[in-house]
Amino acid sequence: MPRPTIFDVAKVAGVSIKTVSRVVNREPNVRTSTRERVEEAIAVLKYRPDQSARNLASHRSHLIGLVYDDPAAYDMPSGGYILDMQQGALKGCRSAFSELLIHPCDFRKKNVGIELKELIEETRPAGIIVAAPLSNMPKIVRAIDATGTPCVRLSPGNDLGKKCSVSTNDREVSAEMTRYLAGLGHTRIAFIKGNPDHKAVANRFLGYQDGLKESGLEFSENLVAEGDNSCGSGEACAEKLLKRKKPPTAIFAANDDMAAGALRVANRMKIDVPGQLSLAGFDDIALARQVEPALTTIRQPLVQMAERAALMLTKNNNGDSNGNAHDIIPAVMKIRESTGRAPE
């Protein structure tokens, strides 16, 4: 028994297919009595519109694109967070009967903008979710804007045009982590900054400064090093910091990869963690639990963030009067073995 079509419904309800279409799409100007008759026929036949035919005729799709930088592309792979995003986006799409199109790309390439433009033109998605660091690149955001496709940035702030965004409270939670370290008695708390392209990572540095101030500690440029988010840069930064005449007793790195690098350095220099040095990261990547000692870090609610983003694109019950919304979902601290009381 083949699946019923709009014609079958029309025949049963005694109307034209167009009227059925109107009912299905909740268009106005259908008499209530007619609508009810059609709805009954739909129920009786268990009619479900064919998505392909709908898409074809309406020139719309139910595709949501998820665009992210693929660290595997340049061999700096801590891509666990990508799976979280995918999971969240998938969940959001499912609940809205949409499909998810994943698109990993290399944010360092000159022509990512063009690549995305082509992707959008090829697949015509109903919306795009852009993850950091791509979501912080004006070039990228502009390229997507130019196609007119709705877009949600997984990134803090509303600085880049009127786009919607979903982000976490990087700054606040980083301040919290800093206060936590201060609370353990640390007075020389160093910070390893990340790639400045990455807006969220930059906010973590601001949070660090907030936290120092709130704890009555002085900020010093001598306790700051600038990495590029990679494990290797974390090593370099930690070495620099630990070779100071007055080395820090705690290092807070803007991400876990760099914190892991710092841990390697500590191991090499035979500095006990957390006995002599406390170490904290950010992101809660798999590695954070696998190194010895396990890293204290901060977990972003990426699954929920991506789900939220997908929902913002599939329903349009969100956003302010201008049609944009900026959701913030708070992160949580994960205290593990790498942080402890400051040494004497």
Partner DNA sequence: AATCAGTTTGACAGCGTTGTCAAAACGCGC
Partner DNA sequence: GCGCGTTTTGACAACGCTGTCAAACTGATT
Q: Does 30 bind DNA (CB under 7 A)?
A: yes
Residues belonging to the chain: 344
Closest separation between CB of residue 122 and DNA, Å? 11
Closest separation between CB of residue 341 and its own copies, Å? 22
Q: How far is CA 19 from CA 10, 27, 271, in A?
A: 8, 9, 76
Q: Residue 263: how many CB atoms within 10 A of its CB?
A: 29
- From the list its own copies, DNA, none, which binds 215 (C-beta under 5 to 8 Å, kind-based)? none
Among 29, 31, 32, 122, binds its own copies (CB under 8 A): 122
Cβ atoms 38, 47 nearer than 8 A: no
Query: Which is it for the CA torsion 126, 87, 135, 117, positive or negative?
Result: negative
Cβ atoms 120, 150 nearer than 8 A: no
User: What six digits make up the tokens of 76?
Assistant: 């700096």
Q: Does 54 bind DNA (CB under 7 A)?
A: yes
Closest separation between CB of residue 57 and its own copies, Å? 9
Among the residue ranges 114-122, 167-175, 182-190, 221-229, the one whose residues contact its own copies (CB under 8 A): 114-122
Q: How far is CA 287 from CA 50, 132, 168, 259, in A?
A: 45, 20, 21, 10
Q: How far apart are CA 340 and CA 274, in angstroms?
A: 5
Burial of 286 (0-12, 13-18, 19+ CB in 10 A): middle
Element spanning 141, H or E: helix 138-147
Among 12, 36, 50, 299, binds DNA (CB under 7 A): 50
Question: Any idea which residue has 């790639």 for tokens?
Answer: 195
Q: How far apart are CA 110 and CA 140, in angstroms?
A: 10
Among 31, 46, 245, 270, binds DNA (CB under 7 A): 31
Q: Does 25 bind DNA (CB under 7 A)?
A: yes
Q: Does 56 bind its own copies (CB under 8 A)?
A: yes
Q: Does 309 bind its own copies (CB under 8 A)?
A: no
Q: How far apart are CA 279 and CA 272, in angstroms?
A: 11
Q: Where are the alpha helices (DSSP H) in 59-133?
A: 80-95, 112-123
Task: Choose between 94 and 326: whose C-beta lies nearer to its own copies.
Answer: 94
Closest separation between CB of residue 36 and DNA, Å? 10
Q: How far apart are CA 16 and CA 27, in angstroms?
A: 15
Task: Choose between 52 and 245: whose C-beta lies nearer to DNA.
Answer: 52
- From the list DNA, its own copies, none, which binds 7 (C-beta under 5 to 8 Å, kind-based)? DNA
Q: How far apart are CA 333 and CA 313, in angstroms?
A: 29
Contact letters for its own copies, residues 79-108 (x by CB under 8 A): xx-xxx-xx--x--------xxxx-x----
Closest separation between CB of residue 86 and DNA, Å? 25
- From the list its own copies, DNA, none, which binds 72 (C-beta under 5 to 8 Å, kind-based)? its own copies
Among the residue ranges 116-124, 163-171, 195-203, 215-223, the one whose residues contact its own copies (CB under 8 A): 116-124
Among 40, 43, 44, 53, binds DNA (CB under 7 A): 53
Q: Does 19 bind DNA (CB under 7 A)?
A: yes
The residue ranges that bind DNA (CB under 7 A) are 2-3, 5-7, 14-22, 24-25, 28-31, 33-34, 47-50, 53-54, 56-59
